[in-house]
Amino acid sequence: MNVVVCVKQIPDPAAPPALDAGTKNLVRAGKLILDDSDAYGVEMALQLADAAGGGEVTLVSMAPNGETSGLRTALAMGAARAILVSDDLLAGTDALGTAKVLAAAIKRAEPDLILAATESSDGYTGTTPVQIAELLGLPSVTFAKKVEITGTSVKVERQTEAGYDEVESPLPVLVTVTAGVVEPRYPSFKGIMAAKSKPVEILTVADLGLDAGQVGSAGARQRITQVADAEARAAGELVVDEGEGHQRVIEFLEQLKVL
């Protein structure tokens, strides 16, 4: 069974984010790392390929400057290979443009199953996976808590407001997985060494046969008109707990008539 996992390489979330003063795009110039949200998809893909008695896990990603450090992390976990789309034309690409690029790249891997996170940690639009499914003419099941392959179909427990739905779909299908549903493995030393020589195919917009007008800022068809400071909350009271901190909480709740 061939599984494609869409992964995003993002600026370290621990570092303060910033917008470019001119384009108002998120600054993505520094070193990028594997989005934590994607580690669950990678782990699930490895487990499902194992359970199916073999198959290949391929990573598909789009990033500036041929960045592969995040991909190497996922390759070290056990993915077999990666397809990276990297092209200066892609600067400023929006979610739909990204979906067009990833869909074209995914097609080359001929997957039975495509996994993605429900949303990235940096841009968090959360629409790209479903846009990819539509562009590829595939069904999709989002917000999966559990994924099981049975022959030629997939059974998913999908998160709902009230609980969860059991959903069944024939393969190929795109599934988005929520965080915390599997425990991503730590790459072993052997895995890290092996990842260095695993194939990473780097493609351009032209390689994918896409028109430059569909991607980048030109394809985005939306613009940021303003960025302003939000109204700040007034500073509150700070109490150091020396054994009686809970009393202050109770007084506060009483004051608000919550108690």
Count of CB atoms within 10 A of residue 258's CB?
8
User: Could you say whether residue 178 binds other proteins (CB under 8 A)?
Assistant: yes
For other proteins, how many residues bind (rule: CB under 8 A)?
A: 83
H/E element holding 70? Answer: helix 69-77
Given 45, 96, 101, 210, the residue binding other proteins (CB under 8 A): 96
Q: How far is the CB of 81 from other proteins (least distance, A)?
A: 26
- 91, 130, 192, 194: residue in contact with other proteins (rule CB under 8 A): 130
User: 50: which residues sit within 8 A by CB, 6+ positions away?
Assistant: none
21 binds other proteins (CB under 8 A): no
Among 1, 46, 118, 203, binds other proteins (CB under 8 A): 118
Residue 170 lies near other proteins (rule: CB under 8 A): yes
H-type helices in 88-127, by residue range? 95-107
Does 183 bind other proteins (CB under 8 A)? Our answer is yes
Does position 54 bind other proteins by CB under 8 A? no
CA dihedral 191, 117, 82, 169 (to 10 degrees): 110
Q: CA 130 to CA 140: how far, in whole Å? A: 7
Tokens of 212: 């430059």
Can residue 22 be called a binding residue for other proteins (CB under 8 A)?
Answer: no
How far apart, in whole angstroms, are the C-alpha atoms of residue 7 and residue 124? 13
Distance CA 62, CA 98 (A): 8
The answer to whether 31 contacts other proteins (rule: CB under 8 A) is: no
In whole angstroms, the minimum distance from the beta carbon of 193 to other proteins comes to: 27
* Binds other proteins by CB under 8 A, chosen from 86, 169, 185, 207: 169
Which residues ranging from 200 to 259 are in contact with other proteins (CB under 8 A)? Answer: 220-230, 232-233, 235-241, 243, 245-250, 252-253, 256, 258-259
Q: Does 90 bind other proteins (CB under 8 A)?
A: no
CA distances from 35 to 63, 73, 89, 175, 232 (A): 12, 10, 23, 17, 29
